[in-house]
């Protein structure tokens, strides 16, 4: 034991004999080892305190993780640095000599640590400006994914394949970046569709919009839009705009795939061709007599041709008849008394503002005296229309029937209750969308007033119902029925 103690004393004496000049002070090697031990202990404690601040103390005050991270780091490591300086002074070290070291460190940062310094400053900028947050879906060059972590040096982005990419903060600040969550909660996706020149543009528009409304991950507001882009070489070019929640950007390819499948199926069901590129070859100075034309030197490659032959793309669409269960909203809207004289362009505007609505068996769509805020066409299923006050069924409507058109256009309360007899899919146009359409296209409003005026008996009946319920304004009591309709529409548009 005495030999071990003697050995340790000799080691300590040797360490104390080794000295380093630091400014005006000299420090021994054993003192330097003690300082390193203190520094390690302080760093461990500061790191632990940082975690406590982020996860417990500051969490009650600051909800944003990035801001908590900045404040926790400043407080914990600032306190650690202060404690380290106190320890140095207590142990007799002249702290003023650190100014000399600080100058050396500054030169080192200026020469060799510029990248790290830029990343630290950029990280603080990202965290404090809060334009990029954890959970945001971003696109940075070829990287697309969700931000899972933002530190003072770098940001971590999780890709759709499960891997993660670490991006230095300076790159996020200096380069262009797309953030699908910044000041919005939805993002737009586009699909490009080409159809044959013989296609009915109104039917194409209707098909694209119905397919979009049928997908659960596609938002109803903003509504999908079918954009006619122009006339291509061998096709008509359409672009379908859809919106999804920004949180669903990670599954955008699945959404687009499902929508493409649906579009292809419904276009085929409605006998709308997706054309191949077509090329035509015209033969000049062709011998009018029937003969065999050769395009090669071998007998097997001989191609028979006549004076009227034309070599062209031989793609032929199958003669697929429209399914009996597939209804055209265009034709159903044309059945509505007040829409039947609208032209195709005006009908298209009605289709564009519509949405699909699903109701389950026995579900109530609306009740008697509810505000008349929508018009409906039954695409599948059936509904019962009844009055609760009289406990009487007024009608049972099947697919292809429609209801609520006067309530939509005149803003009058519902006169009956509607309940689904079975699972039912409805095409609906609500009052906000309809009113906006009339504001944008005043000529459409006048056209509807003209059609409403042709059914004065029905309008008088509805006005009488409003009078009985005390919902008619004094100035509307004895006015001309056409003037009354015009006033009702104008009041809706000005509201």
How much is the pTM?
0.60
In this predicted structure, what is the pLDDT of residue 42? 84
Q: What are φ and ψ of residue 110, in 5° steps? A: -65, -30
Mean pLDDT across the chain, nearest whole number?
76
CB atoms within 10 A of CB 111: 8
Q: How far apart are CA 464 and CA 384, in angstroms?
A: 24
Say which DSSP state 412 is in. Answer: P
Instruction: Give the position of tokens 């009650």.
Output: 60
Residue (of 130, 154, 134) closest to 145 by Cα position: 134
Contact (CB, 8 A) for 242 and 259: yes
pLDDT at position 296 is 45
What pLDDT was estimated at residue 12?
A: 65
Whether the Cβ atoms of residue 201 and residue 228 lie closer than 8 Å to each other: yes
CA-closest candidate to residue 263, choices 254, 253, 251, 272: 272
**pLDDT score at 190:** 92
**pLDDT at residue 170, rounded to an integer:** 80
Give residue 494's pLDDT.
65
Residue ranges of the chain with pLDDT lower than 50? 289, 292-325
- DSSP H helices, 141-286, are 169-174, 201-214, 252-269
- In this prediction, residue 311 carries a pLDDT of 31
């Amino acid at each position: 034991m005495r030999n071990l103690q003697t050995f340790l004393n000799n080691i300590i004496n040797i360490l104390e004999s080794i000295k380093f000049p630091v400014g005006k002070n000299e420090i021994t090697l054993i003192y330097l080892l003690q300082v390193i031990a203190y520094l390690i202990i302080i760093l461990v404690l500061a790191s632990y305190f940082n975690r406590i601040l982020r996860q417990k103390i500051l969490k009650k005050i600051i909800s944003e993780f990035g801001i908590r991270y900045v404040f926790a780091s400043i407080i914990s490591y600032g306190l650690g640095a202060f404690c380290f300086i106190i320890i140095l002074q207590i142990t007799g070290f002249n702290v003023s000599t650190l100014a000399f070291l600080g100058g050396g460190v500054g030169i080192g940062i200026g020469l060799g640590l510029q990248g790290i310094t830029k990343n630290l400053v950029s990280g603080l900028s990202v965290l404090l400006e809060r334009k990029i947050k954890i959970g945001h879906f971003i696109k940075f060059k070829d990287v697309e994914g969700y931000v899972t972590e933002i530190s003072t040096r770098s940001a971590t982005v999780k890709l759709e394949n499960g891997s993660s990419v670490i991006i230095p903060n300076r790159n996020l600040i200096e380069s262009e970046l797309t953030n699908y969550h910044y000041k919005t909660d939805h993002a737009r996706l586009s699909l490009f569709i080409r159809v044959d020149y013989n296609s009915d543009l109104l039917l194409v528009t209707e098909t694209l919009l119905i397919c979009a409304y049928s997908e659960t991950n596609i938002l109803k507001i903003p509504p999908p839009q079918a954009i006619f882009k122009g006339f291509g070489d061998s096709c008509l070019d359409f672009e379908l705009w859809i919106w999804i929640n920004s949180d669903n950007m990670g599954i955008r390819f699945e959404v687009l795939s499902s929508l493409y499948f649906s579009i292809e199926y419904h276009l085929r069901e409605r006998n709308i061709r997706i054309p191949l590129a077509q090329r035509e070859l015209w033969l000049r100075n062709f011998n009018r007599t029937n003969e065999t034309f050769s395009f090669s030197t071998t007998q097997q490659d001989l191609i028979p041709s006549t004076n009227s032959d034309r070599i062209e793309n031989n793609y032929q669409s199958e003669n697929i008849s429209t399914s009996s269960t597939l209804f055209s909203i265009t034709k159903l809207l044309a059945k509505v008394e007040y829409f039947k004289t609208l032209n195709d362009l005006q009908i298209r505007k009605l289709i564009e503002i519509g949405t699909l609505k699903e109701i389950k068996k026995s579900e109530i769509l609306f009740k008697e005296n509810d505000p008349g805020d929508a018009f409906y066409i039954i695409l599948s299923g059936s509904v019962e229309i009844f009055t609760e006050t009289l406990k009487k069924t007024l009608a049972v409507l099947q697919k292809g029937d429609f209801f609520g058109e006067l309530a939509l256009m005149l803003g009058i309360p519902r006169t009956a209750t509607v309940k689904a007899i079975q699972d039912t899919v409805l095409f609906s146009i609500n009052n906000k969308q309809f009113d906006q359409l009339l504001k944008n296209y005043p000529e459409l409003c006048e056209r509807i007033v003209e059609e409403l005026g042709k059914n004065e008996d029905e309008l008088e009946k509805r006005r009488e119902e409003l009078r009985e319920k005390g919902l008619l304004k004094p100035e509307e009591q004895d006015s001309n029925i056409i003037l009354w309709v015009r006033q009702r529409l104008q009041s809706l548009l000005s509201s």
